């Protein structure tokens, strides 16, 4: 126990990956000289100078691949990815990368968000980029090299613009570190909520992480002060919503309240351990008491301090809602558009594409319903809302309705897997289940989202459904949403990437927004082409979702581009007038676009590119074109920027001629 504590402290002090890299050479030395060599010499008579030469050769190989320029792109991929995430403790907890090796110390740590640590992270990323560039001569035209270079170049640019990776999601450069949608103030809570507790050690790690809340919040406040100098401050309503979250979700604890979400989470997990005879009741009670103390002495005071800081910060935020309102805002927005769409399109070009896509989808809806509902011509928004809310397609209200919704989505997932092999050559082994969005995230979360399974597959992937309002989900729209988030959308793409042993670890782990969201949106239209929507109301569910993603192109650019300068209310009105979304979802969607600039553009731009590549392949290959083979070509190279996906598909087309 003492030895493990010493090892854990070393791993945290110097970094898990850095420590292992440092220890690997002496460890190999011991194993090689005191285990392998004596064994070989006992079996074969080899001159000692041969042994010494082989010893030096082994160490040379290790030293070069661990510290120098790796011999293969696959080695670099693993080395680069682990170096970048080694102090991203929340992400490590979620992925459980080291847990299967008994290294769980990361689960007791919190991310350091201070500018000093951010600068260190930037240096690490820059070193990785320089190492990769040094490998260009040999690997420069390979998909793995091009993909990693694209990521590292953009990560380097993001650090220069103070767009640091989100604490929970490496793929999202964050403009406002505190925000109501994916803010750093939520990341700690989210990490704790997802943390697995399967032993006393796990429970103590959980409690230790809570005691480090003040350390985490201190770093966050230092980051906020750094951003204040550049006026990178969120709009007033974002700060207000974030303060509201802190008060309602974190500070709302009564003395020794068993209903407080962290205490309830720990008690629920400990109860499972008690029932399986892995823990006594006395030990469980002691752990709960320790958690109560940690909450009262560390979590609550630190979040109270953050609340007061945000109240003061609110008075210094520039007026307006879009990025145009901050210094360097246009440069930041252009970067974020490029990052999320993997294109060099301008905001104006995307805005115009969005308007054209809105026109086309609207025409499809009009053609489907104008004979039966002629008022749709002049009163489009209210009419499609009325059609979408047809009582025949509504779920019950209250908790009974919430369970009905979850069961309905589970049935869709079960049904769609029947005959799926007609369209896909390979399906993932990871399963996907359906769960309710945690209560503390409901008010500001999207209607649904997907979380992949951990790499060790100790849990299923989760299709999260937001049940704050049962009317936000309808039977007419359920299939479309489920296909997007689960099967064959995000679940297929992300899980297949994780399970592709033939590609480098970076592409197995990474997510590129336009590729991932473009694929998920593509599967919605694929379902329409395959006849999975059984009546025109289910087709309406698909078309209103298609309209929603097209509207995003117009709204995101409208809000953030200096050419348009849309207000929050203007965006809300436009989305409401042209979509089937209810009022709450309209507001939460627009507020999401405001704090995640450019991300909403990725869906439609990605889908359009995949459709374009499919049509190109069909045109060139003719009868040789097979849809399931095209899907394999898109999915089996792992996560890719769109520009590199195009290279992959072009190569696949050439191989099929």
Q: So what's the pLDDT on residue 347? A: 98
Q: 601, 350 in Cβ contact below 8 A?
A: yes
Q: 17, 80 in Cβ contact below 8 A?
A: no
Give backbone dihedrals phi and psi of 433, rounded to 5 degrees, phi first. -115, 175
- Ordered by start, the domain boundaries in the chain are 1-68, 70-316, 333-607
Helices (H) and strands (E) in the chain, counts: 31, 5
Q: So what's the pLDDT on residue 101? A: 73
* CA separation for the pair 653, 532 (Å, rounded): 28
Segments of the chain scoring below 50 in pLDDT: none
Q: Is the entire prediction scored with pTM above 0.85? A: yes
Q: So what's the pLDDT on residue 137? A: 86
Q: So what's the pLDDT on residue 7? A: 66
The alpha carbon torsion through 320, 545, 393, 367 (nearest 10 deg) reads 110
Strand 432-436 vs strand 461-465: parallel, antiparallel, or unpaired? parallel
Q: So what's the pLDDT on residue 512? A: 94
| Among candidate residues 529, 438, 437, the one with its CA nearest the CA of residue 485 | 437
Q: So what's the pLDDT on residue 141? A: 79
Q: So what's the pLDDT on residue 52? A: 72
Tokens linked to 511: 């997510």
Q: So what's the pLDDT on residue 36? A: 76
């Amino acid at each position: 126990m003492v030895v493990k504590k010493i090892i854990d402290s070393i791993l945290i002090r110097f970094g898990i990956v850095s420590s292992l890299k440092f220890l690997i050479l002496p460890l190999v030395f011991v194993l090689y000289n005191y285990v392998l060599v004596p064994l070989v010499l006992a079996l074969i008579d080899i001159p000692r100078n041969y042994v010494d030469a082989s010893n030096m050769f082994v160490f040379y190989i290790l030293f070069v691949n661990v510290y120098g320029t790796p011999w293969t792109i696959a080695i670099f991929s693993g080395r680069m990815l682990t170096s970048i995430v080694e102090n991203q403790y929340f992400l490590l907890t979620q992925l459980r990368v080291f847990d299967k090796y008994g290294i769980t110390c990361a689960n007791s740590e919190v991310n350091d968000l201070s500018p000093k640590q951010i600068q260190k992270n930037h240096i690490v990323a820059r070193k990785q980029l320089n190492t990769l560039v040094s490998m260009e001569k040999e690997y420069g035209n390979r998909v793995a090299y091009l993909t990693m270079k694209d990521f590292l170049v953009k990560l380097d640019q993001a650090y220069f613009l103070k767009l640091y990776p989100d604490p929970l999601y490496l793929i999202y450069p964050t403009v406002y570190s505190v925000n109501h949608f994916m803010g750093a103030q939520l990341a700690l809570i989210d990490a704790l909520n997802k943390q697995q507790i399967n032993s006393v050690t796990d429970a103590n790690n959980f409690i230790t992480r809570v005691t480090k809340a003040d350390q985490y919040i201190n770093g966050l406040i230092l980051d906020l002060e750094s951003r204040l100098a550049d006026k990178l401050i969120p709009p007033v309503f974002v700060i207000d919503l974030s303060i509201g979250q802190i008060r309602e979700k974190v500070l709302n604890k009564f003395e020794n309240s068993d209903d407080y979400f962290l205490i309830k989470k720990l008690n629920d997990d400990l109860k499972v351990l008690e029932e399986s005879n892995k823990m006594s009741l006395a030990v469980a009670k002691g752990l709960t008491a320790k958690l109560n103390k940690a909450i009262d002495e560390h979590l609550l005071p630190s979040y109270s301090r953050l609340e007061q800081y945000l109240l003061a910060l609110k008075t210094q935020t520039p007026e307006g809602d879009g990025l145009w309102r901050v210094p360097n805002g246009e440069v930041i927005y252009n970067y974020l558009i490029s990052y999320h769409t993997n294109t060099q399109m301008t905001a104006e070009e995307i805005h115009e594409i969005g308007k054209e896509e809105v026109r086309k989808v609207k025409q499809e809806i009009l053609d489907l319903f104008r004979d039966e509902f002629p008022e749709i011509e002049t009163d489009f928004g209210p009419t499609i809302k009325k059609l979408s809310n047809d009582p025949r397609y509504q779920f019950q209200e209250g908790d009974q309705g919430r369970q009905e919704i979850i069961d309905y989505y589970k049935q869709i997932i079960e049904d769609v897997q029947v005959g799926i092999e007609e369209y896909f050559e390979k399906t993932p082994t990871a399963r996907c289940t359906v769960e309710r969005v945690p209560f503390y995230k409901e008010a500001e979360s999207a209607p649904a989202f997907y979380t992949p399974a951990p790499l060790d597959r100790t849990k299923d992937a989760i299709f999260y459904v937001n049940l704050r309002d049962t009317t936000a989900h309808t039977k007419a729209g359920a299939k479309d949403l489920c296909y997007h988030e689960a099967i064959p959308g995000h679940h297929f793409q992300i899980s297949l990437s994780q399970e592709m042993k033939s590609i480098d670890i970076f592409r197995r782990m990474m997510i590129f927004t336009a590729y991932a969201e473009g694929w998920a949106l593509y599967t919605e239209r694929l379902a329409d082409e395959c006849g999975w929507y059984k009546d025109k109301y289910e087709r309406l569910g698909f078309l209103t979702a298609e309209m929603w993603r097209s509207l995003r192109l117009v709204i995101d650019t409208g809000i953030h581009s200096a050419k348009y300068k849309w207000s929050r209310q203007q965006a809300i009105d436009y989305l409401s007038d042209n979509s089937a979304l209810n009022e709450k979802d309209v507001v939460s969607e627009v507020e999401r676009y405001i704090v995640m600039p450019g991300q909403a553009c990725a869906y439609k731009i990605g889908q359009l590119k995949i459709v374009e590549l499919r049509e190109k392949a069909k045109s060139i290959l003719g009868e040789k074109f097979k849809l399931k083979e095209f899907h394999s070509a898109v999915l089996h190279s792992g996560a890719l920027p769109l520009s590199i996906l195009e290279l992959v598909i072009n190569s696949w087309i050439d191989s099929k001629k």
